[in-house]
Structures are given as C-alpha cells and as structure tokens.
Amino acid sequence: MGDQGYYLYAVCRGLDPAVLARVEGVGPAPLEVVEVLDLQGVVSAVDLEEYGEAGLRSNLERLDWVERTARRHDAVVQACAQHAPTAPMRMATIYLDDRSVRDRLELAYDPLAAALSRVEGRQEWSVKVYATPSGPVREDSEAVVTSGAAYLRAKKAAAESRRTAEARAMRAARQVDGELSAIAVATRHLRAQDPQLSGVSSTMLLNGAYLVDAEDAPAFAEQVAALVASLTDIHIACGGPWPPYSFATVEEP
Amino acid sequence: MTESPRAPERPGPSSVTGPYERSSGPQSLADVLDRVLDKGIVIAGDIQVNLLDIELLTIKIRLLVASVDRAEEMGINWWKNDPMLSGKRDELEQENKELRERLEALEARHG
C-alpha cells in the first residue's frame, strides 16, 4: 500500500450520506463525503500507486482496468443522482488529501452550485438512432441481365435505392431529434459510437442526450414510443435515466 | 477485458426503457465510457491526466477492441459492411472483374 489520495466522484447537494453505505468505490476504501458549505464532494481514499500519475498512465492503457474503474465510477454517480442533485466528475479526478478536495470545491463553488441548480429535478436520457440494415438489394444479375447496359442499369438502380434509403433514415433521425428536443430542456449530440465499442453493426445516425424535467419524463417516453411505432426506416434505442453527465458542466475557475 | 464478452446487441425491435425504470442489465461499456471519459465536470485534480492522454486512450481502446481476434471473439464483423474498409473494396473489385469479363465476351463476339 503506497501513499493515499482521494478520488472525487461527484459533487452533490442535500445528499444523505447513509445512502452511500452499501455502494462500493473504485478501491476497497469506503465512500466519504467532504462538505464545503452546502456542497458535498463524494470521495474515497485510493492508493496512489494505482491512482498516482505514473499508476494512472499505465493503468489507463489496460481496458480491463478502465472498464472496472469506469463502471465503479458510474455506479457511485448513479447512486448519488438517485437521491440528490449531482454533478458527476470526469473519471479519475484525484487529490492528494481531503484538504485539497475542500480547497478545490471552495474555489469552484459558484460554477458547481450553478451546475447543480441546472440539473436539479432533471434526468438525462439517451436516445440513439441506427439505420435499419436494408435487406440485400435485389440485383437480378444472374438470370435476367443479358447485356452490359442492363447490368450497369441494375447496378445504378441498386446504388440509387441505397442512397434513397440512407436519405430517408437521416430525415427520420432528424425528426426524432427535433421532436425530443422540443420536450427536453437541453439537448447534446454525442459522438456517434464506433461499432467496435457499441457492438451494433448498423450505422449510428444520432447519439443524443436529452435533459428532461422529471415530470416530463412520461411524456418523453411516450414520444419515443410514438416515434418507434411510426418510423420504420430506423431503429431507436432509448436508455435512462442517466445522471446528468452531459449537462452538469462548469468552466474551469 | 470483461471475462465473458457480451454478445453484440443486434439491431432488433426498438427498445424503450420506461421512465423511472432503470435499464435492465448493465449499461454498455461504450455508453459508460462516452460519459465518464468524455463528459462529466472537469476540474483540476492534484494528479493530472492529460486530456490528450484520454483522447489517446479512447483510440487505444478502439484499436484494442478492433484487433481481429478479439472482434471475432465478440462476434463483430462490422468491417465487412464498412464502406471505408475491405467490404466496399471487395465489392468494387468484384464489379471490375465482372465488367472486364463482359467486355472480353463482347470483344470476342464482335471479333
């Protein structure tokens, strides 16, 4: 066991620390709450051999380590966000001691308080739109095509119908984003996920994050269901509620 | 690496998670990384991990996951459909070959 540091997961307001009792942190140490005025930094002690500069640099190269840490980090943030307004920190925000956590929260008090007010009573929903994989384009090349010209015509028609399908799917994705943005209080477009990471081979047309008032969540879900029913050129995946990762933002003081 | 890679999610019927209901099962690693690496509040820690490192990291994760063995193990064969990659090239090569054969046939017929 090397020196100890503190891993900061999130900043909350009005969180009952008791709800964290059964939640695991990234390491063996229990979660603690560092209070600065009405802000609460949720931290746990970590071994600086693992979470110090050198440790992080080598650990961030290991997908198993990254996945475990990312999931633990997210689990802590989820637990906080279920009970109180929560501003999630980026993964691996590390301080040398609790004094340093306190100093940083004091320094960033105003923007953190503002971020918490922005997300209070609201949820982040994720809506992803994929192109529906089009069936194999029918090319009658075997039997019917008897001339080079007909062959080229068939090729051209196939390319044309692919393009039309793509354009239809893009329009549908824009419609989804437009209708859901109208219900949400804020919208962010995340980078389309790489098929290697998402495990879905279809093209991702929209990776939207929507901040929704908790009381509007049923209306949001209904709208998603209506879009799913009416738009057949696309596949829609909706997930949530997420903690407001995409919406609790501060400018570095 | 997860011990047993999840089966890739197939684009099937659209999935909707009802409000107030947690999505069942673990969130996909891609979704979690999207948020904990790319989003969330950035305030300086005492230990600095350069954001460039994180950019690099996501690329590295992609490369790692993309290694053919690993991808095949996960049942991912996306490159077969990726127009930027071999799929399209094969298709074009095949098309060229077919056109060449037709041309040869025509030329042979017309002497």
Domain assignment present for B104: yes
Does B111 lie in the same domain as B97? yes
Give residue limits of the domains in chain A: 4-119, 122-242
Domain assignment present for B13: no
Residue of A nearest to B41 (CA): A89
Q: B27 — contact with chain A (CB < 8 Å)?
A: yes
How far A212 CA lies from chain B's nearest CA (Å)?
Answer: 11
Total structural domains in chain B? 2
How far B86 CA lies from chain A's nearest CA (Å)?
Answer: 15
Give the pair of three-digit tokens for residue B86: 């071999």
Complex confidence, ipTM: 0.76
Chain centroid offset of residue B100 CA: 34
**Least confidently predicted of A178-182, A188-192, A234-238:** A188-192
B78 vs A202: CA distance, rounded Å: 8
Query: For residue A73, what pLDDT is reported?
Result: 95
Q: Do A93 and B45 touch (CB under 8 A)?
A: yes
Residue of B nearest to A155 (CA): B95
Of B20, B45, B61, the CB nearest to A63: B61
Query: For residue B54, what pLDDT is reported?
Result: 63
| Predicted confidence band of residue A119 (pLDDT cuts 50, 70, 90) | very high
Q: Return the higher-pLDDT residue of A152 and A224.
A: A224
Q: Do A95 and B47 touch (CB under 8 A)?
A: yes
Query: For residue A2, what pLDDT is reported?
Result: 73
The domain of B109 spans 78-111
Using H for helix, E for strand and C for coil, what is the string for B50-110? Answer: CHHHHHHHHHHHHHHHHCHHHHHHCCCCHHHCCCCCHHHHHHHHHHHHHHHHHHHHHHHHC
Q: B66 — contact with chain A (CB < 8 Å)?
A: yes
Q: Helix (H, G, I), strand (E, B), or coil: what is residue A180?
A: helix
Mean pLDDT of the B56-81 span: 50
Domain assignment present for B14: no
